[in-house]
Amino acid sequence: MRRLIPALLLICAAALAQRGPGASTRDFIRTDAPVLALTHVRVIDGSGGAVLEDQTLVIQNGKIAAVGPAATTAVPRGAQAMELRGYTLLPGMVGMHDHMFFPMGGNPPQYSNMPISFTRLYLAAGVTTIRTAGSVQPYEDLELKKLIDAGKMIGPKMHVTAPYLEGPGSFTPVMHTLSDADDARQMVAYWADQGATSFKAYMNITHAELAAAVDEAHKRGLKVTGHLCSIGFKEAAEIGIDDLEHGWVVDTEFSADKKPDLCNEATARTGRVTLDIASQPVQDTIKFLVEKKVAVTSTLPVFEAGVANAPTGQPQRPLLQQRVLDVMDPEARARYLAARARVPADSPSLALLKKEMQFERDFVKAGGLLLAGLDPTGNGGVVAGFGDQRELELLVEAGFTPLEAIRIATLNGATFLGEQNSIGSLAIGKQADIIVVKGSPDQNIADIEKTEIVFKDGIGYDSDKLIRSVQGTVGTR
Ligand SMILES: [Zn+2]
């Protein structure tokens, strides 16, 4: 018997460990009451409309059952009530360039999935839906999605993008090299069958390959985006691409030595420094993209991370936030700090960031659909979730009002995904994907960093607990 007890304990422990993901998700849930009323709270509905003061929002069966003035909106009998004076509700963010992977350093550069930390950090920061915008471990991304949908792991709702569609000459070996247009078509067909719902063309793809990929994807009702270089924006719009990642700051079509199907980013970058966004050629491209209904995904944090350190004593950009450094493992932290320090003081990165901001403003003014993401790659300073919050702050710096920036990061993404009837804004009948923020992000967008609870389909997760559970792990898992 004395020998039996430890053995039994071991078996029980193993059984518990097997229940692991399912059991531990409970630890992060603040509330999953079947009927919940959030009372006396400010509401930003995500449509761009004015903030509503002193509201009550009722969640029932994972959906928004009622929202209106606290004075006239009844709290249903038996509902759990949560009084939230001093708090603001906004829709869960729809992150459109939200990879599951992170840079691992090395030469040539390596990238790996962060399946534990990134899933939690996205949700903790208020990102309830992501498009992965390119995958380096596609089978894992698809399985993560299944686990999250089944409630066995915590994370955002995932729209998995297939592996990159890239031609010869890639700077990283994490991408398949396409051999021709037929290969591109087959790749789209294969990953669509596996469950990918979008595709990402990359810097060295040829015109013929992109055309084949777009054709195959559109036949299946799926969309293609691109971080392009070998193909200019107008050329891609002509082919029928649906979305362009990063914006003008990667467009090569204005480069003097642009040759068909070839990427020469170095020359293009030099040309960009002197190119005026207000000039006719850039404005013509904006007009053409809007006409062709091509969206643009803003990813300002990854460009901000490439800006040189300011001299000691001056305000630093990018902000070196302790909460971001704390979730990194020591190696990732050291890699990022070293990369930051290496940016030459005379780098044009800051000027280019400002021009990109102007491009995004002009694109929206012209009627374009701007989407938001973070792109957790670059020099390793952009981390899931925190980067999405930073994107909101940078959109405001770009000249959008906080309410416009919130709409770009919520309803615009939902609209692009075709899910605007179920997510992206706070309205009766929509899924209860809601961020609970202490403060007033409509007045001070940085209040988004004071996110305390994030509801996904009506289940409220504790942001702080989620963040604390992944301290020191980004760069490892
Ligand atoms: Zn990216």
pLDDT attached to residue 471? 97
pLDDT digits (tens, 9 = 90+) for 418-455: 999 999 999 999 999 999 999 999 999 999 999 999 99
Which helix (H) or strand (E) covers residue 200, if one does? strand 198-201
Q: At residue 204, does pLDDT exceed 80?
A: yes
Q: How far is the CA of 97 from the centre of ligand 1 (A)?
A: 6
Q: Where are the alpha helices (DSSP H) in 220-321?
A: 233-239, 265-274, 280-291, 300-304
Q: How far is the CA of 334 from the centre of ligand 1 (A)?
A: 22
Query: How many residues appear in the chain?
Result: 477
Which helix (H) or strand (E) covers residue 216, if one does? helix 207-219
User: Whole-angstrom Cα distance, residue 184 to residue 187?
Assistant: 5
pLDDT attached to residue 17? 42
pLDDT attached to residue 256? 86
Q: How far is the CA of 269 from the centre of ligand 1 (A)?
A: 18
Query: Peptide bond before 301: cis, by omega within 30 degrees of 0?
Result: no
User: Whole-angstrom Cα distance, residue 138 to residue 162?
Assistant: 6
Give strand pairing partners of 43.
52, 89
pLDDT digits (tens, 9 = 90+) for 13-69: 444 444 444 447 889 999 999 999 999 999 999 999 999 999 999 999 999 999 999
Q: Is 448 helix (H, G, I), strand (E, B) or coil?
A: helix
Q: How far is the CA of 136 from the centre of ligand 1 (A)?
A: 11
pLDDT mean across residues, the chain: 94
Nearest alpha carbon to residue 188 among 199, 203, 178: 199
Q: How far is the CA of 247 from the centre of ligand 1 (A)?
A: 12
Q: How far is the CA of 174 from the centre of ligand 1 (A)?
A: 13
pLDDT digits (tens, 9 = 90+) for 51-62: 999 999 999 999
Q: How far is the CA of 99 from the centre of ligand 1 (A)?
A: 7
- The average pLDDT across 89-94 equals 98
Q: What percent of the chain has pLDDT over 70?
A: 95
Q: How confident is the model at residue 313 (pLDDT cuts 50, 70, 90)?
A: confident
Query: In this structure, what are the phi and psi dihedrals at residue 448, rounded to the nearest 5 degrees?
Result: -60, -25
Give the other-Cβ count within 10 Å of 261's Cβ: 15
Q: How far is the CA of 153 from the centre of ligand 1 (A)?
A: 24
Helix 280-291 vs helix 349-365: crossing angle, to nearest 10: 50
Q: How confident is the model at residue 8 (pLDDT cuts 50, 70, 90)?
A: very low
Q: How far is the CA of 29 from the centre of ligand 1 (A)?
A: 30
- The average pLDDT across 304-313 equals 89
pLDDT digits (tens, 9 = 90+) for 378-387: 999 999 999 9
Q: Is the dihedral of CA 29, 31, 35, 41 positive or negative?
A: negative
User: Whole-angstrom Cα distance, residue 130 to residue 410?
Assistant: 11
Q: At residue 95, does pLDDT exceed 60?
A: yes
Helix, strand, coil % in the chain, rounded to nearest 5 = 40, 20, 40
pLDDT attached to residue 320? 84
Give strand pairing partners of 127.
93
Spatial contact of 398 and 350, defined as CB atoms under 8 Å apart: no
pLDDT attached to residue 270? 87
- The average pLDDT across 159-180 equals 97
Q: How far is the CA of 24 from the centre of ligand 1 (A)?
A: 30
